[in-house]
Amino acid sequence: TIGRSTSVGNFVFELVGGVRMPAIGFGTWKLEGTACYNAVRWALELGLRHIDTAEAYGNEAEIGRAIRDSGVPREEIFLATKATSVPLGMAEPSYLEAVFVGQLQALQTEYVDVYMLHAAGVKGETLRTVWQGMERLLEAGRVRALGVSNFGVAALEELWSFAKHKPAYVQNIFKVYKPGEQILSSSEASTVDWAQSHGMAVVGYSAINSWPHLLPPTEDPHVLAIAQAHRRTPSQVLHRWSLQHGVAVIPKASSRDRIRENAALLDFELSAAEMVALDGLATLGESTHEAVRPPWAADAFSLGRAQQMLPPLQQQQQL
């Protein structure tokens, strides 16, 4: 249970190795220039202490200036960033350290709390070489923990098979329609369950993003009904759902009011029935006439029973 008296900066998940990560952070994807600088300043002023960025976002310099100007001591901030060009094969593995040094300079810091591969791009021996470069940064004390982003179960298993220092953190899409994977895999286990069972902290992004669906989660009637019952916004309900699954959140916003709204997640709780209803939404978009999918999701809407009542596909086609 999440304590109602816990401040947003002090509600933390502990990574393997003892690194403490605030579970409510601030994402900066698509924030640029002055808008990014202001938003990070507001997030820190409102008590958030977890900032997420990436090489590909092109905003690390603005984030570095915002942290410097905020007056918040660096050691009080959990700073996470990603290597993009090397793991995606756009630069050779030998460039990883140079890329990282440039990121440190932009962020005006001597270390980051988590450094992660932005996606599961390169594979095999190239991935092994890239990860060894990541491990050297960890061993040199320039990174406190290693992580990955946009990794499914198969990619995690490959990395796990040879990593000397296992990733302590995974950041994936996590919303009611896509809880852990952008494209549903054939794995019988969810990415989140796999990661958590292997001791990894999980961070979810895009809880309110509609992509690749037409209906934004914030307009889903199930979400709206739960939000009305709690007198909360749909965004708060969706991020609270993530937290109750043990998944940290990094909502992005460009206004002070929205940042404050997204941080107000610790003084209400979703019931078990509400959690099951939200868990079941993924099955409405992924299931077919043959199977309830994802296979690990709650069949909250009894789709399995409905399937049993359908005639075989061949008979349907004849009809």
pLDDT of residue 4: 56
Nearest one of 28, 11, 16, 25 to 107, comparing CA atoms: 28
Place of tokens 């810091």: 109
* Cα distance between residue 224 and residue 232, in whole Å: 9
Residue 23 burial (CB count, 10 A): 25
pLDDT for residue 289 = 82
Looking from the CA of 63 toward its CB, the CA atoms found within 13 Å total 32
Q: Supply the pLDDT for residue 214.
A: 82
Q: What does the alpha-carbon distance between residue 234 and residue 240 come to, in Å, rounded to a whole number?
A: 10
From 175, 183, 182, select the one nearest 216 (Cα to Cα): 175
Separation CA 167–CA 199 (nearest Å)? 9
Provide the 8-state DSSP code for 263: H
Residues near 199 by beta carbon (within 8 Å), at least 6 away in sequence: 16, 166, 168
Tell me the C-alpha distance between 207 and 209, whole Å.
6
How many Å apart are CA 159 and CA 93, to the nearest integer? 16
State the Cα–Cα distance between residues 317 and 319, nearest whole angstrom: 5
Task: Give the pLDDT means over successive 10-residue stretches in the chain (319 positions).
Answer: 69 95 98 98 98 98 98 98 98 98 98 98 97 98 98 96 98 95 82 97 95 89 98 98 98 98 97 97 88 87 74 51
Closest to 257 measured CA to CA, from 235, 226, 279: 235
Contacts of 251 (CB under 8 A, 6+ apart): 26, 27, 207, 208, 235, 239, 262
Query: How high is the pLDDT of residue 304?
Result: 80
Least Cα distance to 43 among 15, 79, 84 occurs for 79
What is residue 211's predicted lDDT score, i.e. its pLDDT? 81
111 is a catalytic site residue: no
Q: Using CA atoms, how far apart are residues 267 and 18, in angstroms rounded to an integer? A: 26
Which of 37, 57, 177, 205 does the annotation list as catalytic?
Answer: 57
Peptide linkage before 212 cis (omega within 30 of 0): yes
Classify residue 122 by its DSSP letter: S
